[in-house]
Amino acid sequence: MSGSRVALFIPCYINSFFPGVGMATLTLLERFGYAVEYPEGQTCCGQPFANSGAHEEARPLAEHFVRTFSGYDYVVAPSASCVATVRRHYDPYVGDDPAYAHIKANTYEVLEFLHDVVRPESFGVSFPHSVTLHQSCHGLRELELGVSSEVMLPHYNKVLNLLEKVEGIELREMERADECCGFGGTFSIHEPEISTRMGIDKLDNAEATEAEYLAGFDSSCLMHLQGIARRLNREIKCVHVAEILAGTVEG
Amino acid sequence: MSREALEPWHDRALWFVRQKRDRAARTVAEWEELRQLASQIKAHTMSRLDHYLERFERNAVRNGIQVHWAADAQEHNRIVEGILARHNVRKVVKSKSMLTEECGLNPYLQARGIEVIDTDLGERIVQLRDEPPSHIVLPAIHLKKEEVAALFEARLGTEPGNADPTYLTYVARKHLREHFLSADAAITGVNFAVADEGLFVVCTNEGNADLGTAMTDLHIASMGIEKVIPSLEHLGIFTRLLARSATGQPVTTYTSHFKRPKPGGELHVVIVDNGRSAILGNESNAQALHCIRCGACMNTCPTYRRSGGHSYGYIVPGPIGSSLGASRDLKRSGADIYNCTLCGSCSNVCPTRIDLHRQLYAWRKVYVERGHLPPKKRWLYRAGAWMLRSPVRARILFGTAKWATRLLPRRLLYHPANVWGRTRELPEFAPKTFARLYKERTREP
């Protein structure tokens, strides 16, 4: 409920490369009446290490995360994969820490938080542009922000539900909308050719819709796709869904 | 990497199969419940595997089937060879069996003067090319019809340049017919072994297992210990899932039940462990034994479709192959378990709900713990985690990187050692970090 104390977790690369995504998250939470704090001393959640099997390296980062984010009602972050790491992979490191039990149950990806906790009628913003949405894997399949195309359950998608509340937006579905973009953390360095091929395919599918914007809910996917788009002089603009909802997309 | 790696047609061919699977699965209202049931049946059976295997053996023997037990690939091959030798078999027709691939049965028998003809069309193509299958259901998916035409021209004498699939299939059919007619024995795999009945089921689309076993009096079936299911009522759950997951068909064209030898003939089942007990004993990866070899995880895997089956270090490629390969030779499987973005699509398509991407996640941990990671990478992770562990050091790390990207000339910044930068622009550092913007904002009244 509004008035709750929310700690903002801004993953390290978002802090440096995409501060606008962080600001959009902050703007949204405050707009709906949350008391937001950005705990100083926060750093990486450990995902790149945990996903690579380097658990000895991930453990102190998980412990640090729990120390930093204890004592809040909610932790909210604009990164699905970091949130998935905190919620799904921290047990071996901090599983018996009671502070973690609270964090595990109350750490949200920002769109998930808006959809499930805030539940606004409207965002009071308009975005008169065409947008195609990349369904980032960890948000979709780990946080279950939607039903992925493999699963034969009634369709829902929390991110699209939110975007539909934006005035003037025109959503265009791309082919293979929930196929991985090829970032995959350290995979992008381990297997650069395959990673790039996947990224080009994603850009091709997005551009085939002739949408102006390629939106996503994991800045890491967008960092990878933007890197390829810039190298290949592709026109499509990458944007985080939170920026659209906050009305802070720069022209 | 395989020759088909990064080829758009390879990706599209497999994606097409994935879409067929989606359409077929969507016609079954209770699809997700079927998957759940299949997973539970497998979990139950694996927890009492000895009981069900012995029950299968008892009932099979009662039906007149001769049951053999093989601890490993060598023992399996020796048993098969022994049976063939007793019958003076010179030529065997074999339908698809990943287990015989795993055991290296073909080269073993061929070295002992027994001719082995793979009768599944795709398998026959890769056999004529002297290479392993690149996919467990679509063994020759890495080849284009022109390549098959060239191969058939050289080996089967087809018209030069005629790559018409109907023509090529017709010739292959004729060619295989001759072998079916002259074979002395048939070898098949086993898709499901039903403990209560002592019968086993072989699924094919080409009828090659049926023709092979019908034309000969000696049938040997190779079966992994994980193929047993308790009773017939469970079979339908798996057959409904198998063909839909594999190729998008409602059921395999042939779903043949073998219960007893034909009059005057012999029917043998060789039950093989070959490392499976070890997988069963490994908590985080035991579910790998729930695999029914449908290949759906390969078709959906974005990296399999772009790297090709021959790029994997184990005979079974893709997500399930990476996990199975890791349990056999973890050190060698390094490239496979890391050729994965952990996107999770495989776990969602798997008809028995194997937690495939979590298995690869788990294997990476063991891989690092056992010291298999190359020292350079190990050092990079250590240094990276040490830098990021402290907010001050993290600031210094990102700050230094920011100035490096500003000051270094492009040719240094995009030196080939910058793997990211070979195909991608580096992300741009914003003028101010979020932390800075937040601080400035709160300082304002």
| pLDDT at position A196 | 97
Neighbours of A48 (CB within 10 A): 24
B4 within 8 A of B308, measured Cβ to Cβ: yes
Yes or no, beta carbons of B425 and A201 under 8 Å apart = no
CATH 3.40.50.10420 range(s) for chain B read: 44-146+185-277
CATH code 3.40.50.10420 for B44-146+185-277: yes
| pLDDT at position B441 | 85
Q: Give every CB contact of residue B246 below 8 A, 6+ residues apart in sequence.
A: B21, B137, B252, B294, B295, B296
Yes or no, beta carbons of A227 and B420 under 8 Å apart = yes
Most B CBs within 10 Å: which of A14, A18, A26, A43, as the mutation test of the B interface?
A43
Neighbours of B75 (CB within 10 A): 17
Task: State chain B's mean pLDDT as an integer.
Answer: 96
Q: Classify strands B199-204 and B192-194 as parallel, antiparallel or unpaired.
A: antiparallel
| pLDDT at position B80 | 98
Closest residue of chain A to B386, computed from CA coordinates = A57
Most B CBs within 10 Å: which of A8, A9, A191, as the mutation test of the B interface?
A191
Shortest alpha-carbon distance between residue A88 and chain B (Å): 11
Residues 79-98 of B with CB under 8 A from A: none
Yes or no, beta carbons of A184 and B368 under 8 Å apart = no
| pLDDT at position B1 | 65
Shortest alpha-carbon distance between residue B415 and chain A (Å): 14
* Overall average pLDDT of the B211-224 stretch: 97
In chain B, residues with a C-beta closer than 8 Å to the C-beta of A201 are 11
Q: What is the pLDDT of residues B64-119, one digit of tens each?
A: 999 999 999 999 999 999 999 999 999 999 999 999 999 999 999 999 999 999 99
Most B CBs within 10 Å: which of A37, A85, A88, A152, as the mutation test of the B interface?
A152
The token pair that represents A145 in the structure block:
């922000």
> For B381, which of A54, A191, A199 is closest by C-beta distance?
A54
| pLDDT at position A1 | 61
Q: What is the pLDDT of residues B340-385, one digit of tens each?
A: 999 999 999 999 999 999 999 999 999 999 999 999 999 999 999 9
| pLDDT at position B124 | 98
Q: What is the pLDDT of residues B308-349, one digit of tens each?
A: 999 999 999 999 999 999 999 999 999 999 999 999 999 999
Q: What is the pLDDT of residues A46-68, one digit of tens each?
A: 999 999 999 999 999 999 999 99
At A13, is the pLDDT very low, low, confident or very high (cuts 50, 70, 90)?
very high
Shortest alpha-carbon distance between residue A186 and chain B (Å): 9
Q: Does B307 touch chain A (CB under 8 A)?
A: yes
At B3, is the pLDDT very low, low, confident or very high (cuts 50, 70, 90)?
confident
In chain A, residues with a C-beta closer than 8 Å to the C-beta of B435 are 10, 15, 38, 40
Q: What is the pLDDT of residues A155-189, one digit of tens each?
A: 999 999 999 999 999 999 999 999 999 999 999 99
In chain B, residues with a C-beta closer than 8 Å to the C-beta of A54 are 368, 373, 378, 381-382, 385
In chain A, residues with a C-beta closer than 8 Å to the C-beta of B6 are 193-194, 197
| pLDDT at position B6 | 86
3-state secondary structure of B53: helix
Shortest alpha-carbon distance between residue A4 and chain B (Å): 19
Q: What is the ipTM of this complex?
A: 0.96
At B2, is the pLDDT very low, low, confident or very high (cuts 50, 70, 90)?
confident
Q: Give every CB contact of residue B92 below 8 A, 6+ residues apart in sequence.
A: B84, B109, B114, B115, B116, B117, B183, B184, B185, B186, B187
| pLDDT at position A2 | 66
Yes or no, beta carbons of B344 and A228 under 8 Å apart = no
In chain B, residues with a C-beta closer than 8 Å to the C-beta of A40 are 391, 435
Q: What is the pLDDT of residues B108-156, one digit of tens each?
A: 999 999 999 999 999 999 999 999 999 999 999 999 999 999 999 999 9
| pLDDT at position B228 | 98
CATH code 3.40.50 for A130-246: yes
A176 within 8 A of A200, measured Cβ to Cβ: no
* Domain boundaries along the sequence of chain A: 5-118, 130-246
- What is the rounded CA–CA span in Å between residue A2 and residue B47? 49
In chain B, residues with a C-beta closer than 8 Å to the C-beta of A14 are 434
Most B CBs within 10 Å: which of A135, A180, A240, as the mutation test of the B interface?
A180
Q: What is the pLDDT of residues A104-138, one digit of tens each?
A: 999 999 999 999 999 999 999 999 999 999 999 99
Shortest alpha-carbon distance between residue B383 and chain A (Å): 9
> For B368, which of A12, A54, A201 is closest by C-beta distance?
A54
CB pairs under 8 A between A and B: 197
Q: With 80 as the cut, is the pLDDT of residue B171 above it?
A: yes
Bridge partners, residue B115, by sequence: B91
Residues 154-193 of A with CB under 8 A from B: 176, 178-180, 182-193
In chain B, residues with a C-beta closer than 8 Å to the C-beta of A17 are 427-430
* B274-279: long-range pairs with CB below 8 Å, 24+: B274/B70, B274/B71, B274/B72, B274/B73, B274/B76, B274/B99, B274/B102, B274/B103, B274/B224, B275/B72, B275/B327, B275/B328, B276/B224, B276/B225, B276/B226, B277/B225, B278/B327, B279/B324, B279/B327
| pLDDT at position A215 | 98
Q: With 70 as the cut, is the pLDDT of residue B262 above it?
A: yes
* Overall average pLDDT of the A221-233 stretch: 97
Shortest alpha-carbon distance between residue A251 and chain B (Å): 16
* Overall average pLDDT of the B11-30 stretch: 98
CA separation (Å) from A181 to A52, A138, A225, B319? 18, 11, 7, 17
Most A CBs within 10 Å: which of B1, B388, B436, B440, as the mutation test of the A interface?
B388
Q: With 60 as the cut, is the pLDDT of residue B445 above it?
A: no
| pLDDT at position A248 | 96
Yes or no, beta carbons of A231 and B5 under 8 Å apart = no
Closest residue of chain A to B349, computed from CA coordinates = A150
Residues 386-415 of B with CB under 8 A from A: 388-391, 394, 398, 401-402
Closest residue by Cα to residue B44 from B387, B286, B372: B286
Bridge partners, residue A37, by sequence: A7
